[in-house]
Amino acid sequence: MQPIVNVHSSEGRDKTVLEEISIKSSRPSCHHSNTLSTASSPNDIFLNAHLGVSDEETLLEIPSGRSSVQLSSSASSFTSQCQSDWERHSLDKRSNHSPLRHDLASIRIEWPPQRAKYFYPAQALRRVMNPVSIFLELKRLDPESANEAEQDATSQRISATSYKLFALLVRLRLGTHIRDFLAEGVDDSHLPFVRSDRENKTEAARKFKLCSGKHPGRVVRCMIDLDDEDVERIFRAQWEVNAQVFEFCDDIKHYNLDPNSVLPWLEDHQHENSAMQGGFGSVWKVKIHPDHRIKGGNGAEVSFLDPASRTVADSCTKPFPRFIACKELHFKDEQTFQSEVDMLQAFKKSRHAHLVKLLATFHFDGKYYLLFPCAELNLRQYWHRNPKPDFTPRTVYWMLSQCKAVADALYVVHEYRSTRDALNSHSVRRTNQSDSAPFANIDNRRYGRHGDIKPENILWFFDEIAKDRHDQGRLVIADFGLTEFHSRASRSKVLARNITGSATYEPPELLLDTTISRAYDIWSLGCVYLEFTTWLLCSPEAFSIFPQARLQTGEMEVEMEDDNFFTILKTDPPTAIIRKSVQDWIRDLHREPRCSNFIHEFLHLISDRMLEVNPKDRIVIGMLRRELQQMVDKAKTDPSYLTESTPWKLPVQNPHPLSIAGIESTDRAHAPTPSDGFPLPKRQDTSVGLYAMRPSCFSPENMLTMTESTSPPSSPQLR
């Protein structure tokens, strides 16, 4: 919709801009008032919202036959500006000074700082380039013209279709040429102009020419007679009035920006310590100018919250986030970029509050960028920012509920349904389905795997959703750069040598060079859950030494130190076991004084069902959600479940310095280790029942002899 100014009289006849200026200039003074009475002004101005009336301001259209109208504060300010512009114009009619050029200079913003590159904020430019200021500038440029009606019509046309082009020309002191552009039919839709460089040897062919951006092969003929320097100045300065306005909506927008474009940033933290570097991209926060962010398809500010829980009216009243997260991808091929965008688009349609939402993408100066909501912290930063959590029912329940929410989000990835799946599912009769196989009868199901679950890729948001549900924040899975989708036939046939992720959270099958499945994510999530429990139970000192406790010399071909949660044994063939320091750590957690029934069950779930060296023995994501939901249900009905102390009471002798027992006080009871000679406490039945014994190590050979349906369940003992 184009911006319009309508000037209405009490008789219903539209007045021209010239008539309105005459009325305003004849008044002795201008009083700032929201009400114009019939006595002081028989003529009332109705301003379209595009001239600067904000969403919060009320704009009332003038009904026929009424003699007064309430104007918004912006409208009143604009009316005052009209008179002010006319007064300045009267003083500058015979001088070379342009009040409009002065106003344009006052609103432009330099970006990047100290680089002598500028952009005009979109709404600010629209407010400055109003019909009155345009008319006065045309009068200044051609003071001898007697045809004021023509100037009035021209100012209206420029305001509606060519205000950016006219601003560019006024900025370069070329405003008198605007009529040539209009005569040729060139307006704002033809911006930005593109170069037409020909390699002919004649002087005429070598001349710097500009073509319409709307019709790249069509030379703008009215610029042929301009000096070469002026044409070059137009090309360089046009980016100031064409800074991109990013639209965030359900359908992800992609913008191909010219290398000469000026990004409409107000802040950019790319080169600060807060920027996060990864193997596939770098992420930092930027602040986009409010005029260039970002209207949804319905005209309301886009919500970064759960779309299912918000209305369009709600989104108009919520404050816009201060920062946006900008991710620069390290790879440059379009196919890889598009595959990541397609996947993020699919997850965005799931409307899951714990999966990060992609807002928009753009290509600039040879690189691809993605824009996301900006989280305050990632999970690791949150742990370090809050090193001593209160062990209260509220905090423990928040930790449990967020672990459940992250599992729910991962379920969306693992059980991703394509559009074709959803359509086909209507004709499929589903029977005896469980959470572990919700689409078991759909042959063309696609299965996803995140591939890089770690605390750095789980973000902590403190927003309206967090405030409504748990005021300690909301955890969101992010960074889907390694996510892959596979059909049912190929979901477990991905070769380990083709996988790249974070080494600390990699499962053992990756180093054993076997195939990879969705069980990869279950292992990684189990590692994160174990660290989360350590943060909740232990002192900051104990939490900080957990990675050091896991360090040991690798036993593969290359001697190295790693902090994995497993160890590869030099057997023939190589086999994997849970690292002994991890086993000891879990036992120490069981004997922590604050350890409750919930913590015991959660640790059993991690050690017996998630940190399984054989991927076929790991719990599937649907069953994991169900186990966590049962814990949530217990927490709601049993006040003692979350925090009542029930630690193991058996002592530990000579604890290792890099252990919980070693770093914390020794005057309390300790849990046993196998070397102590004490029998381990027998765990009680849980909702998943008792588990039969099974091999304590994993090798490619014994994995091939086991199937997903017949493999024996996990042992009650920690290996």
For residue range 310-329, list pLDDT tens digits in order.
333 333 334 556 899 999 99
Polymer length in residues for the chain: 719
* 536/440 same-domain check: yes
Helix (H) or strand (E) holding 424: helix 419-424
177 occurs within a structural domain: yes
* 551/650 same-domain check: yes
716 occurs within a structural domain: no
- Residues 476-506 have pLDDT tens digits of 999 875 545 433 334 444 444 444 446 899 9
44 occurs within a structural domain: yes
Q: How many CA atoms lie within 13 A of 3 on its CB side?
A: 23
**Residue 370 confidence class, pLDDT cut points 50, 70, 90:** very high
DSSP 74-110: HHHHHHHHHHHHHHHHHHHTTSS--HHHHHHHHH-EE
Q: SS in 3 state form for 523-589?
A: HHHHHHHHHHHHHHHCCHHHHHHHHHHHCEECCCCCCCEECCCEEEECCCCCEEEECHHHHHHHHHH
Q: Which residues contact 440 (CB under 8 A, 6 or more apart)?
A: 430, 433
* 338/261 same-domain check: yes
Answer whether 110's CB lies under 8 Å from 118's CB.
Answer: yes
Q: Is the pLDDT of residue 710 over 90?
A: no
* 206/162 same-domain check: yes
* 146/159 same-domain check: yes
* 458/531 same-domain check: yes
* 406/358 same-domain check: no
Strand 360-364 relative to strand 253-257, pairing: parallel
How much is the pTM? 0.72
Diameter of the chain measured on Cα atoms: 108
Q: Is the pLDDT of residue 473 over 60?
A: yes
Domain count, the chain: 4
Q: How far apart are CA 585 and CA 659, in angstroms?
A: 7
State residue 647's pLDDT score: 93
32 occurs within a structural domain: yes
**Residue 406 confidence class, pLDDT cut points 50, 70, 90:** very high
DSSP 634-657: HHHH-TTTTT---------SS--T
Q: How far apart are CA 683 and CA 716, in angstroms?
A: 7
Amino acid identity for residue 591 in this structure: R
Please give the backbone phi and psi of residue 355, each rounded to the nearest 5 degrees, phi first: -115, 130
* In the chain, % of residues over pLDDT 90: 48
Find the CATH number of the domain harbouring 541. 1.10.510.10
State residue 467's pLDDT score: 59
Q: How far apart are CA 619 and CA 612, in angstroms?
A: 9
Find the CATH number of the domain harbouring 351. 3.30.200.20
Please list, residue by residue across 584-623, b when 16 or more beta carbons sit within 10 angstroms of its beta carbon and e when fewer do.
bbbbbbbbbebbbbbbbbbbbbbbbbbbbbbbbbbbbbbb
Higher pLDDT, 439 or 254: 254
Q: Which residues contact 714 (CB under 8 A, 6 or more apart)?
A: 608, 609, 612, 617, 691, 694
430 occurs within a structural domain: no
Dihedral of CA 268/270/271/272: which sign? positive
Q: Is the pLDDT of residue 201 over 60?
A: no
* 236/314 same-domain check: no
429 occurs within a structural domain: no
- CA of 403: how far to CAs of 257, 400, 613, 624, in Å? 40, 5, 22, 10
Domain of residue 150, residue span = 104-243
* 13/27 same-domain check: yes
523 occurs within a structural domain: yes
* 456/536 same-domain check: yes
